[in-house]
Amino acid sequence: MRGPHNIWRLVRTGATFESTGAMRVVLDALDVPRPLRLAARVLGWPFKWLGHEGDATMPPVTRALSALGPAYIKFGQILSTRPDVVGEELAAQLRVLQDKLPPFTIEEAKAAIARDLDMDVETLFSEFSPPVAAASIAQVHRARLRDTGETVAVKVLRPGVERAFRKDIDAFYFAARMVELLSPSSRRLRPMDVIRHFEGVVMGELDLRLEAASASEFAANTAGDAGFTVPEVKWFHSGRRVMTLGWAEGVALGDNAALDAAGHDRVALSERVLQLFLSHALRDGFFHGDMHQGNLKVAPNGDIIAIDFGIMGHIDVYTRRVYAEILYGFIRRDYKRVAEVHFEAGYVPPDRDVDEFARALRAVGEPIFGMDATRISMARLLAYLFEVTERFGMETRTELILLQRTMVVVEGVARSLNPRMNIWRVAQPVVEDYIKNAIGPRAVVRDLTETAKVLARFGPRLPGMVEELLILQSQPPAPARTLSRRLRLAYGAAGLVAGAAITAAAMGLG
């Protein structure tokens, strides 16, 4: 990592916020305390002349983030769904970052397609429009396939975007190292791991072949979900820097006036978008990780259409069960069980007191459940929960970062459709259904069945392992190391035999 380059990049960041007028807007929106506000202005003002000018026609924060590059734009996209954090006015300004950024030329797009697919655009498409949407990493063109006449969306990466992202990520690593060095207490948050996770997600987004694969898998997983659609991937017309999908015709989920004019039920849409996300995360362990309004449309028949599959989240079965039990515990206000789940999963050090942790969680949950539905917020819950877990020494779980972030984003999208939505009431049936199927008696039988399949692969080796065990028992005493090995082997063989017997019995009962 290049220290001078990173210092320079971070200085330019502060200078750009100062020169565009974004610094004051952000400090006011986040209600930063006076000492920190003064420090930020003092540090930013001397370098003001070093900042990027940006597009003067844009609002200050949008102007600063778009001038700084794609990584900063991604950050702004997330904030655009959180009016309760940054205020309605700033959130509305930041929504421009979702799909209304300055495009690159159609000539550059056609050249990129020709290089990536080894065919001229005119050979592939009978029609190819100017860009219809431009985001931080790529832009989209509407086209018509020459061979079938089908209308499609063609996504093309921005020229030089890979290099720009690597520079920003390099600076983020430097900032994370400085945070760890200057604030030892922050190490429990594992800032380096957080940036490493972010880097992995972003680098995957910069290879559109991976995005096409994600779209295909997501479509297969959700084929049975009522009121939800994923466009079909056109593999022959896709490559590393180009991806072609079926065209998604519909109204942007963030355009309330257009939704109302089309006769769509925004209350129903708000509930469906939250329940769909929870179903995908819990049921499939594979979810859309960038579900802001710019990536969701509503078809004329009322279906929610997802687009842009560059950031997808994956969580394993065990983590899904932990996450569901925590949510379910909060829904039922069973704080003792929420505390026990944290300990069982190893999220909180075992030397801490589970009852004290449960009382701390009650202090988090009860005030929230006593609020009016319009004030119950997942963002507020996560903020309070963060304070409690920090006090109890819980480390940041990098595997849950994208899940938690997406949950907050989806809540913001749902509330933009229906400000009075009670997220707990809407989430409860999905979480309860998952708990019933994943943790109840049927789940036990299913787990034992899977265990039996694994044991079956060891079946041919069991007689030999038992024979070796008997031979070892008949031999004279051996050194401790050999004895330890024999004991492990004995326990292993005995466990396999016992496990097979228990599984067979359970399958018989099931």
Using CA atoms, how far apart are residues 458 and 496, in angstroms rounded to an integer?
A: 8
Pairing relationship of beta strands 312-314 and 125-134 according to DSSP bridges? unpaired
Query: Are the C-beta atoms of 70 and 136 separated by less than 8 Å?
Result: yes
The structure tokens 């431009």 sit at: 134
260 Cβ contact list (under 8 Å, min separation 6): 266
Domain residue ranges of the chain, discontinuous segments joined by +:
3-99, 162-203, 250-439, 442-509
Asked if residue 65 lies in contact with residue 73, where contact means CB atoms within 8 angstroms, the answer is: yes
Q: Strand 151-157's sheet: what is its strand order? A: 125-134, 138-145, 151-157, 242-246
Q: What is the DSSP letter of 233?
A: B
Q: What is the pLDDT along the chain (510 residues), one digit of tens a residue?
A: 455 666 777 777 878 888 888 887 877 766 655 665 666 666 566 777 677 777 777 888 888 888 887 777 876 776 665 565 566 677 777 777 765 667 899 999 999 999 999 999 999 999 999 999 887 788 999 999 999 999 999 999 998 888 888 888 888 788 777 767 766 655 655 677 767 766 777 777 789 999 999 999 999 999 999 999 999 999 999 999 999 999 999 999 989 999 999 999 999 999 999 999 999 998 999 999 888 888 899 999 999 999 989 888 888 888 888 878 887 888 788 999 989 988 888 888 888 899 998 998 888 778 766 666 566 666 666 666 666 766 777 765 656 667 777 887 888 889 889 988 888 788 888 888 888 777 766 666 666 776 777 667 666 776 776 777 777 666 665 554 454 554 444 444 444 444 444 333 443 433
380 vs 415: CA distance, rounded Å? 14
Helix (H, G, I), strand (E, B) or coil at 304: strand
The CA-based angle 54-59-64, given to 5 degrees, is: 40
Q: State the DSSP H helix or E strand holding residue 184, giving kind and residue range, or none if neither.
A: none
Query: In the numeric block, which tokens belong to residue 430?
Result: 């999905």
Q: Give the list of residues 6+ apart from residue 281 with CB closer than 8 angstroms, or none.
A: 287, 313, 315, 320, 323, 403, 406
Backbone angles phi, psi at 484, to 5 degrees: -60, -40
Q: What is the pTM (predicted TM-score) of this model?
A: 0.70
Q: What is the pLDDT of residue 61?
A: 86
Q: How crowded is residue 489: how many other Cβ atoms within 10 Å of its Cβ?
A: 14
How far is the C-alpha of 212 from the C-alpha of 234, rounded, in Å? 9
For residue 106, the Cα-to-chain-centroid distance in whole angstroms is: 31
Closest CA to 137 of 190, 197, 203: 203
Range 226-262 burial, b when 16+ CB lie within 10 A, else e:
ebbbbbebbeebbbebbbbbbbbebbbbbebeebeee
Measured N-to-C along each axis, helices 354-369 and 335-344 cross at an angle, to the nearest 10 degrees, of 130
Write down the pLDDT at residue 109: 95
Task: State the Cα–Cα distance between residues 230 and 207, nearest whole angstrom.
Answer: 19
The reply to whether 290 belongs to the active site is yes
Q: In the prediction, which pLDDT does 186 show?
A: 57
Which residues lie closer than 8 Å to 334 by C-beta, 6 or more apart?
328
Structure tokens at 21: 């007028």
Structure tokens at 504: 């067979």
Sheet strands (E) in 96-198: 125-134, 138-145, 151-157
Using alpha carbons, select from 59, 81, 62, 83 the residue that is nearest to residue 73.
62
For residue 334, list its beta bridge partners.
Answer: none
Question: What's the pLDDT at 240?
Answer: 93
The 8-class DSSP code of residue 30 comes to T
- The full length of the chain comes to 510
CA distance 375 to 377: 6
Distance of alpha carbon 152 from alpha carbon 113, whole angstroms: 14
Residue (of 136, 16, 31, 32) closest to 75 by Cα position: 136
Closest Cα partner for 314 from 197, 191, 176?
A: 197
Query: What pLDDT is attached to residue 455?
Result: 65
Q: Which of 290, 351, 353, 433 is catalytic?
A: 290
3-state class percentages of the chain: helix first, strand second, coil last, to nearest 5: 65, 10, 25
**Torsion sign over Cα 241, 246, 250, 253:** negative
Which among 115, 306, 145, 310 has a CA at the least distance from the CA of 237? Answer: 145
313 bridge partner residues: 287
Measured between alpha carbons, how far is residue 472 from residues 469, 479, 495 in Å? Answer: 5, 13, 17
d(CA 396, CA 240): 33
Structure token digits, residue 75: 């950050």
